[in-house]
Amino acid sequence: MARPKMRRNSTNIDMTAMCDVAFLLLSFFILTTKFKAPEAIPVITPSSVSAKVAPETDVTLITISKDGKAFISLDNPEVKQKMAEDMNKEKNLGLTAADIEAFKTVSFFGSSFSQLPSYLKVPADQLKATDVPGIPIDTAAAKNELIDWMKYVVAAHSATGAKFNLILKGDNLAKYPQFRSVVVAFKKNAQFKFQMVTNPEGVPEGTDLWKRYQTSGGAPTPEAGG
């Protein structure tokens, strides 16, 4: 006896709820995404094959721009306050309590000690590396003020007990004498260990380093220069 044929009904799936969820997720990611802010000190770093990742916290960053200006960036307000107090006392800068509070909020420093009071009065949103003179590091004129800046950086970290990661970031077009002046400032303050930020790239094939990586299981892909 033949089996009766079942009537097939077309399948209808309501996608309205799924579309709503998709748009909600899209809206969430758009609203919560943090876009990378433009760098306060634009620098194009030289390339290297280093795979070591530089630290992101407790950092004292020394930057050399392409035109040879030197800058210091710190992220610890307590350290910056101690620096400002010591500078004001030893250099007779005449900083007010408001100036010291402003010092704690500055993202980078790029002036001589004599110009620091006026530097602190520039609003943060108007402070651009291209418009400031930078910390003097001219060894030919015997004006390497970075030596004293580093003295206050080291002393403030020691006094507050803060961690200290020293990093040097230089533009690919910066000259050797400028790098040398910065390294001299490090050595004068017994800072012999620091990392240098570079633009990571793969190891060129056929080089001795590439061959060593091949024999040890393959070359790693660098994530960040250090």
DSSP 81-132: HHHHHHHHHHHT----HHHHHHHHH-S-B-S-TTTHHHHTTS-GGG--GGGS
Do the domain assignments include residue 37? no
pLDDT of residue 65: 92
pLDDT for 45: 79
What is the DSSP secondary structure assignment for residue 174, as one 8-state letter? Answer: -
Domain that holds residue 62: 47-200
pLDDT of residue 1: 55
Calpha distance 80→120 (Å, rounded) = 13
Residue 83 lies in a domain: yes
Q: How far apart are CA 17 and CA 1, in angstroms?
A: 45
Considering the domain boundaries, does residue 141 fall inside one?
A: yes
Give Cα 29 distance to the centre of its chain.
25
Beta strand residue intervals within 14-88, DSSP E: 47-48, 59-64, 70-74
- Domains: count for the chain: 1
CA distance 198 to 171: 9
Whole-Å CA distances, 164 to 60, 76, 79, 95:
7, 10, 10, 26
> Is 213 among the domain residues?
no
Is 2 part of any domain? no
Q: Are 177 and 137 in contact (CB under 8 A)?
A: no
Q: Please give the pLDDT value at position 223.
A: 40
Q: List, for residues 139-172, the tens digit of each pLDDT value.
A: 766 789 999 999 999 999 999 999 999 999 999 9
pTM higher than 0.95 for the full model? no
Query: Where do we find the tokens 């006094």?
Result: 159
- What's the pLDDT at 111? 93
Three-state SS at 53: coil
- Residue 226, in any domain of the structure: no
Q: Looking at the domain assignment, is residue 192 inside a domain?
A: yes
pLDDT < 70: residue spans in the chain = 1-16, 33-40, 48-52, 140-141, 200-226
Written as six digits, the tokens of 10 are: 């077309």
> How far are the Cα atoms of 99, 149, 178 from residue 159, in angstroms, in the given order?
21, 15, 29
Contacts of 42 (CB under 8 A, 6+ apart): 65, 129
Residue 137 covered by a domain: yes
For 169-201, the pLDDT digits (tens) are 999 999 999 999 999 999 999 999 998 888 766
